[in-house]
Structures are given as structure tokens and as C-alpha cells.
């Protein structure tokens, strides 16, 4: 088996924000790994099912195909039988067990329903021998950010029961303390109550990150049966009772789930028949998908929920900034215009004093408005999609854009303010807030507070002013007003000119400083100047654009993204590792972010006159990640990499704006041909 896949992670999601997540060898190394993590409408995620103990018997021989980390051992070691695993279009695992009696080959596949918190796991006997199986399903029944401390199930009450309808067996388990429950449905063999506690399961990655890393799991049921060659057995996990007559039948649910992935296989991998699909996905050599942009689009859709985008899996919820940056992947595509509009309207309705929610939180908790740039990115996305909207829709979106602009200019209660002397936005000092995308804090103190006048914030502000002027012109409005504040478009145009002129203050030795402090440029080489220069309305000339690109290419660019700080800086931290405090100290102090490849690509596009040159360079800067995706090593694109010698993905394994960046770069490349 390819060793890279042992460290790779697969992901399945639904439109609620529920997910299933695991490694390429199915050894859970995170508390978030599991077969079903259910989500409520307000993104409260509950970890329900962790894994399955899979025991097989043939003529007296017994073997396991599952693997688990314990403090000093991996047991059992079923991963040693794993000949091949695939991460996309859904996770599958091909086990081959040596036996003198014949070919023992087992295929395990995992699927998730598109709209409901339902996971389907299918086992198929691909060999030529009849096998007995014994499965124990391990339930967690907890918040997905926590673990069940060792010994927990010795003292908290649980209730379990089985119903046998003749067509299927339904098992239900419920915790007495938090009232979380999960449902299990089997369709062959026998299901009996036989409670077992799996103790001290160890999550290696949680230990490395400084979190609780040991957990107990409860298994109330034993599922036994026999399957002959070419037969399969299936199991469904759910957060609710599926025998409800208002819902689909179990057979329809299974059919619907299978059809979801059949469509995806045909669209992205171009397998015309089930036989071709099975042969293609079980190849031991590298699977080469035919449609790389299609894979990226499928990845992007993993984050798509109702009127929003999940920032990343497994631990992020919906973030205003991340949603607005990631939403670019959907703009300009006619089939997605309705989704883009629904997201903009949803966030527009949540504006408070012109500010979008920074974090929506989980289960109604943790929401905040600690951001200066989310609203400015909203205006960018509105501008890109404006032509696709009807007249009434344009006026609705324009109303939100006006609300943002006018509050930024006139509302004195915000943690930032408009400086009428130079037209720039100023982040108030010593507020304890981290309002830009570089928002990490240690002991509640911002690591990179960026007080004063940050370069990309003011470039976004300049673009916002220009965009509102254009929108007002199209809608034939000469006064921009919201009932509290107003400004006529002639004055707004003068403000835009003032901002453009004032952006010159950021230059230091022909390079844009990261921010102005006391109106003097801070000469830190960070990628924020790249973001500033990638936006549609320029405030500088081609000479400075070229100089900026050369600086970014020489100081910040890596095969996986841009560093957040040049290695030349004494503040540079090349490793992102350790406990949360140590990691947060490095988060924006050199760590590489993949999403920054898109502003870099846009800057390159501005200075490159020949399409073939642009195409070749964009192909080069995305080659490493593209190879990992095309070779089936990455099921998604991670958040970050180390700033020095980046190679191992870090942070969250699936980040929306990372995938969006690569997808948008592919669209730029497509325009070159």
C-alpha cells in the first residue's frame, strides 16, 4: 500500500455540515475521525460513530481488518492486509488476507447521504470463499470537539435496544447524561445486544496538538453473519429513526446514497459502467482522474451547505471572511448564481453596523463580529456577480453594500474608523482585537495585531468605494444613503481618488509595507501586499506591480502556498507544531497558506501579457498540490504547511478557501487556452 495514504485523510460531507472523516489506513488519529458526525441546522456537530471492529472467520482461521491506536500498541493490525485504499470519489479499502484455502478479498466502501445525517458502510466479499463476519460498532455519542474520558461509560447510564422487522434489524443507543442517541440498521445476519467498552483508544494527532488524546467507546451490539463470494452486507448509521413513515424507506435511502456517488464517478472519473468503475478504483497503481478541475469542484462542494460555506473540516464552522473569500469559486458559473445570491442575502441580513459575522458559531454559541475585512470581501463577491442578478436582486445586494460603506465611513462606534485626512481605514490601537485574517491570539493577545492602517484592508476599502460608485451609477442613484448616513457620488468619487493617492504612503524602498503605524510604513514582507495588488481596481502602476511580484516570488512563494512572513524576518517561525499556544504563535509568522496562491496568480496575470507564459507559470506553482490530488493522495486541500521546508499538510485537512484558490486558478488557466 502507498505509505502516503496512511497519513492522508478522506472526507464525506452533507449539506447540513455533517461529515465522516478518516485516514487512508482507517486508523483513527484524531478525535474528529469517525463514520458519522451529525450536524444540526445551526452547525452543532455531534460525534456519533467512531469505527467498526471487523472480525472474519474461515474454516477455523480468524483475522481482523480494523486497526486501532492504543497507548503502546496498534491492535488489531488489520491495516497490514490493506492492499489499496482510495480517497475519492468516496473512501474505499481493499483488503487481501493470505490464506492457504483461497483468495480472501474484502472491499469496504463508505458513503454519506447528501442531505441527511446518514452514513452507509458496505462490505463486499470479492474473493472465492464464504466468510463469517462479526462486527462491533463503536459509538462515541459526544460533542465532536471533546472525548469520552476513560472510565466514562462505567458510571453514566446508557440505553440500548433492538427491533427486528424481518427486513432489517434496528439498534438504538442513547446516553443518559447528554441524551445523545444514534441508530443502526443492518440488513443481513443477526444483531444481538452484547455490550463491550473499548478502553483507552489513543488519538496521536490530538496528543501532538496538546489536547486530550484518550477515549472510551461503547459497543452495545454484536452483528454476525455469513457472506458468500460476490455478496455484500450493508449497515446504515443515522442520528434519527429512519422508520418514520414521513421519511423514505431504507431501500430508497440506500439507493439515493449510491446514486449520489454513481453520478459523481461518471462526471469526474468518467467510468461508464459499474464494472469499469470497480476495476479502475481497485487498481494498485496510481489512479489518474480524467477531470482535475472536476475533482476540485467536487472538493469545493464538500463545504457547501444551505446558504453558506463551512470554512473547513473537521473543526471549523461557517466564518464570514472564509465564506466570502471561498465564494469566488462559485461566481461566474451560471448554475451556481442562485447559490451565490442566497449566500450574499443570508449574510447581508446578518449585518450589524455594516459588519458581517466573523464566526457564526456552533449551535448558536461562539458567534462574533470581530472582523474588518469580511464585509469588504462581501462587496468584492457582490461586484463579481452583479451582472447575473435581476433588477430587484441588484437593489437588494446594493443596499447591503451601501450599509457597509456608510458605516465604515461614519460609524464611530466600530473598532476601526475612517480617517478623512487620507481616506484610509484605521484599526484602533490596543483594543485586544485581531480584526484581519491574521487573527491568532495567545493568552487573548493578538500575535499580529496590525493596528494602524493595514495594506490589504485599505486596498479592499478602495475597491469597495469604487464598486459602490459603479453600482450606484448602474442603478442611477446620485446619493448613497441608508437612512442614517449619506454621501453623494461626486464626493464619494473624490474619496476614492484620495484613497488611491494615500496608498502611496505604504511604499518603502519600492515595496508596499504591511501597514502604516503613525503614518509610517512597517517594512515587514508579508503576503498582504499581494492580496492588495490582486484586486480589480489598481492603485499603482505596472512597474510597482512587477516589483511586488518579484518580491513575493523570491521571499514568500513555496510549492504549497505563500509564507505569511519572509524568512529574513527575526520573527519568522518555520515550524507549525506543538500545543495550541505554540502553534498560534507561528500561525501567521511564516506558516504557508494555500489560499494565498490565488492573489499571487491574479498579480501574475496583471503583469503577464502572454497567455502561454501565464499558463506555464500557474501550472508550475500548483504542480505539487495538483500531483497529490491527481495521484489520489489528497482528498482535499489542507489549510497550512510549515514555513520552512513545507511538505506535510497541517492545520485542518480540508479548508474551503484552499480548494477555492486552486479551482479559481484553474479557471484562469482555462481562459488562457
Grid-cell match 499558463, residue found: 615
Report which DSSP code applies to 320.
H
pLDDT band at 266 (very low <50, low <70, confident <90, very high): confident
671 exposure class (CB count in 10 Å sphere: 0-12, 13-18, 19+): exposed
Mean pLDDT, rounded, for 405-422: 97
Cell representation of residue 552: 513575493
Bridge partners for 593 per DSSP: 562, 640
| Residue 287 confidence (pLDDT) above 50 | no
Total Cβ atoms within 10 A of residue 608: 18
Bridge partners for 227 per DSSP: 131
- Of 3.30.70, 1.10.287, 2.70.98, 1.20.120, which CATH number belongs to 4-243? 2.70.98
Residue 192: helix, strand or coil by DSSP? strand
Convert 419-465 into a string of H (helix), E (strand) and C (coil): CCCCCCEEECCCCCCCCCCCCCEECCEECCCCCEEEHHHHHHHHHHH
pLDDT band at 459 (very low <50, low <70, confident <90, very high): very high
| Residue 512 confidence (pLDDT) above 50 | yes
Q: What is the mean pLDDT of the chain?
A: 93
| Residue 202 confidence (pLDDT) above 60 | yes
Report which DSSP code applies to 506.
G
Mean pLDDT, rounded, for 434-443: 96
| Residue 563 confidence (pLDDT) above 90 | yes
Q: Tell me: cis bond preceding 457? Omega within 30 of 0 counts.
A: no
| Residue 288 confidence (pLDDT) above 80 | no
Q: Tell me: cis bond preceding 314? Omega within 30 of 0 counts.
A: yes
Separation of alpha carbons 398 and 386, rounded Å: 9
pLDDT band at 75 (very low <50, low <70, confident <90, very high): very high
Separation of alpha carbons 163 and 302, rounded Å: 34
Mean pLDDT, rounded, for 217-243: 96
- Of 1.50.10.10, 1.10.1240.10, 1.10.3720.10, 3.40.50.300, which CATH number belongs to 294-672? 1.50.10.10
Q: Looking at 583-673, which runs of residues are DSSP E strands?
A: 592-593, 640-641, 654-655
Q: Which of 253-257, 427-431, 638-642 has the highest mean pLDDT?
A: 638-642
Domain with CATH 1.50.10.10 in the chain: 294-672
User: Residue 53 in contact with residue 136, Cβ under 8 Å?
Assistant: yes
User: Residue 493 in contact with residue 405, Cβ under 8 Å?
Assistant: no
Residue 663: helix, strand or coil by DSSP? helix
pLDDT of the residue at 95: 96
pLDDT of the residue at 244: 65
pLDDT of the residue at 279: 47
pLDDT band at 332 (very low <50, low <70, confident <90, very high): confident
CA dist 567 to 327, 524, 559, 564, 589, Å?
A: 31, 11, 15, 9, 9
Domain with CATH 2.70.98 in the chain: 4-243
Grid-cell match 443515522, residue found: 238
The secondary element (H helix, E strand) that includes residue 597 is: helix 597-607
Instruction: Give residue-wise pLDDT tens across range 128-154.
Output: 999 999 999 999 999 999 999 999 999
Cell representation of residue 62: 480468524
Q: Comparing C-alpha atoms, which of 249, 91, 242 is closest to residue 181? A: 242
pLDDT of the residue at 274: 42
Mean pLDDT, rounded, for 376-393: 96
Report which DSSP code applies to 126.
-
| Residue 373 confidence (pLDDT) above 90 | yes
Separation of alpha carbons 171 and 305, rounded Å: 29
- Lowest model confidence (mean pLDDT) among 2-6, 379-383, 434-438, 474-478: 2-6
Comparing 665 with 273, the larger pLDDT belongs to 665
User: Residue 359 in contact with residue 319, Cβ under 8 Å?
Assistant: yes
| Residue 1 confidence (pLDDT) above 60 | no
DSSP for 209-240?
A: TTS--EEEEEEEEEEEEEE-TT-EEEEEEESS
Q: Tell me: cis bond preceding 555? Omega within 30 of 0 counts.
A: no
The secondary element (H helix, E strand) that includes residue 486 is: strand 486-488
| Residue 247 confidence (pLDDT) above 90 | no
pLDDT of the residue at 291: 83
- Lowest model confidence (mean pLDDT) among 4-18, 242-256, 266-280, 445-459: 266-280
Total Cβ atoms within 10 A of residue 1: 17
pLDDT band at 285 (very low <50, low <70, confident <90, very high): very low
Mean pLDDT, rounded, for 92-105: 91
Percent of the chain with pLDDT over 90: 88
Instruction: Give residue-wise pLDDT tens across range 574-629.
Output: 999 999 999 999 999 999 999 999 999 999 999 998 999 999 999 999 999 999 99
CA angle 506, 507, 510 (to 5 degrees): 160
pLDDT of the residue at 284: 41
The secondary element (H helix, E strand) that includes residue 109 is: strand 104-112
Terminal CA-CA length for the chain = 38
Q: Tell me: cis bond preceding 517? Omega within 30 of 0 counts.
A: no
What's the length of the chain?
A: 673
pLDDT of the residue at 277: 46
CA angle 411, 417, 419 (to 5 degrees): 115
pLDDT of the residue at 496: 98
pLDDT of the residue at 290: 57
- Lowest model confidence (mean pLDDT) among 232-246, 282-296, 645-659: 282-296
Percent of the chain with pLDDT over 70: 95
Mean pLDDT, rounded, for 655-660: 98
pLDDT of the residue at 249: 87
User: Residue 355 in contact with residue 457, Cβ under 8 Å?
Assistant: no
| Residue 85 confidence (pLDDT) above 50 | yes
Amino acid at each position: 500500500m502507498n505509505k502516503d495514504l496512511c497519513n492522508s485523510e478522506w472526507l464525506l460531507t452533507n449539506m447540513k455540515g455533517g461529515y465522516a472523516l478518516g485516514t487512508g489506513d482507517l486508523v483513527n488519529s484524531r478525535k474528529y475521525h469517525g463514520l458519522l458526525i451529525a450536524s444540526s441546522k445551526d452547525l452543532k456537530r455531534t460525534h456519533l460513530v467512531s469505527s467498526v471492529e471487523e472480525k472474519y472467520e474461515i474454516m477455523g482461521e480468524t483475522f481482523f481488518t480494523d486497526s486501532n491506536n492504543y497507548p503502546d500498541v496498534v491492535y488489531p493490525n488489520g491495516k497490514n492486509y490493506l492492499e489499496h485504499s482510495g480517497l475519492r470519489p468516496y473512501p474505499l479499502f481493499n483488503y487481501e488476507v493470505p490464506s492457504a484455502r483461497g483468495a480472501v478479498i474484502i472491499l469496504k466502501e463508505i458513503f454519506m447521504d447528501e442531505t441527511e445525517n446518514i452514513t452507509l458502510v458496505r462490505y463486499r466479499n470479492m474473493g472465492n470463499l464464504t466468510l463469517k463476519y462479526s462486527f462491533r460498532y463503536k459509538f462515541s455519542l459526544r460533542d465532536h470537539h471533546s472525548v469520552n474520558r476513560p472510565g466514562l461509560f462505567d458510571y453514566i447510564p446508557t440505553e440500548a435496544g433492538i427491533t427486528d422487522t424481518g427486513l432489517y434489524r434496528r439498534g438504538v443507543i442513547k446516553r443518559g447524561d447528554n441524551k445523545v442517541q444514534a441508530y443502526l440498521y443492518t440488513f443481513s445476519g443477526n444483531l444481538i445486544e452484547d455490550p463491550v467498552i473499548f478502553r483507552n483508544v489513543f488519538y496521536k494527532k490530538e496528543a501532538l496538538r496538546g489536547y486530550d488524546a484518550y477515549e472510551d467507546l461503547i459497543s452495545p451490539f454484536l452483528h454476525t453473519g455469513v457472506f458468500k463470494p460476490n455478496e455484500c452486507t450493508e449497515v446504515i448509521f443515522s442520528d434519527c429513526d429512519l422508520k418514520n413513515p414521513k421519511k423514505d424507506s431504507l431501500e430508497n435511502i440506500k439507493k439515493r446514497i449510491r446514486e449520489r456517488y454513481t453520478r459523481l464517478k461518471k462526471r469526474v472519473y468518467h467510468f461508464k459502467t459499474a464494472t469499469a468503475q470497480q476495476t479502475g478504483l481497485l487498481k494498485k497503481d496510481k489512479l489518474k482522474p480524467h477531470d482535475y478541475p472536476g475533482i476540485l469542484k467536487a472538493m469545493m462542494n464538500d463545504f457547501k451547505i444551505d446558504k453558506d460555506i463551512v470554512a473547513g473540516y473537521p473543526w471549523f464552522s461557517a466564518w464570514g471572511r472564509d465564506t466570502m473569500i471561498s465564494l469566488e469559486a462559485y461566481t461566474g458559473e451560471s448554475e451556481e448564481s442562485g447559490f451565490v445570491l442566497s449566500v450574499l442575502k443570508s449574510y447581508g441580513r446578518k449585518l450589524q453596523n455594516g459588519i458581517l459575522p466573523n464566526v457564526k458559531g456552533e449551535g448558536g454559541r461562539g458567534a462574533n463580529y470581530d472582523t474588518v475585512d469580511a464585509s469588504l470581501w462581501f462587496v468584492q463577491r457582490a461586484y463579481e456577480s452583479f451582472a447575473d442578478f435581476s433588477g430587484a436582486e441588484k437593489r437588494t445586494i446594493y443596499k447591503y453594500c451601501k450599509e457597509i460603506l456608510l458605516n465604515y465611513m461614519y460609524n464611530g462606534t466600530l473598532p476601526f474608523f475612517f480617517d478623512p485626512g487620507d481616506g484610509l481605514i484605521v484599526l484602533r490601537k490596543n483594543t485586544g482585537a485581531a480584526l484581519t485574517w491574521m487573527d491568532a491570539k495567545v493568552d487573548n493577545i493578538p500575535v499580529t495585531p496590525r493596528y494602524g492602517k493595514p495594506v490589504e484592508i485599505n486596498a479592499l476599502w478602495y475597491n469597495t468605494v469604487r464598486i459602490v460608485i459603479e453600482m450606484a451609477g448602474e442603478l442611477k442613484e446620485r446619493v448613497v444613503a441608508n437612512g442614517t448616513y449619506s454621501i453623494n457620488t461626486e464626493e464619494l468619487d473624490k474619496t476614492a481618488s484620495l484613497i488611491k493617492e494615500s496608498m502611496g504612503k505604504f511604499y518603502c524602498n519600492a515595496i508596499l509595507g504591511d501597514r502604516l503605524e503613525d503614518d509610517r510604513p512597517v517594512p515587514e514582507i508579508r503576503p498582504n501586499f499581494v492580496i492588495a495588488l490582486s484586486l480589480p481596481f489598481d492603485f499603482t502602476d505596472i512597474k510597482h506591480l512587477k516589483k511586488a511580484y518579484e518580491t513575493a516570488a523570491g521571499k514568500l512563494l513555496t510549492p504549497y502556498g505563500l509564507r505569511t512572513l519572509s524568512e529574513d524576518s527575526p520573527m519568522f517561525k518555520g515550524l507549525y507544531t506543538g500545543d495550541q499556544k505554540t502553534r498560534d504563535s507561528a500561525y501567521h509568522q511564516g506558516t504557508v497558506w494555500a489560499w494565498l496562491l490565488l492573489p499571487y496568480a491574479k498579480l501574475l496575470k496583471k503583469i503577464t501579457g502572454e497567455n502561454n507564459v501565464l499558463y506555464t507559470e500557474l501550472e508550475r506553482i500548483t504542480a505539487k498540490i495538483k500531483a497529490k490530488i491527481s495521484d489520489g493522495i489528497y482528498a482535499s486541500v489542507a489549510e497550512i504547511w510549515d514555513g520552512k521546508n513545507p511538505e506535510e499538510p497541517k492545520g485542518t485537512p480540508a479548508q474551503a478557501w484552499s480548494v477555492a484558490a486552486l479551482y479559481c486558478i484553474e479557471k484562469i488557466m482555462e481562459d488562457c487556452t
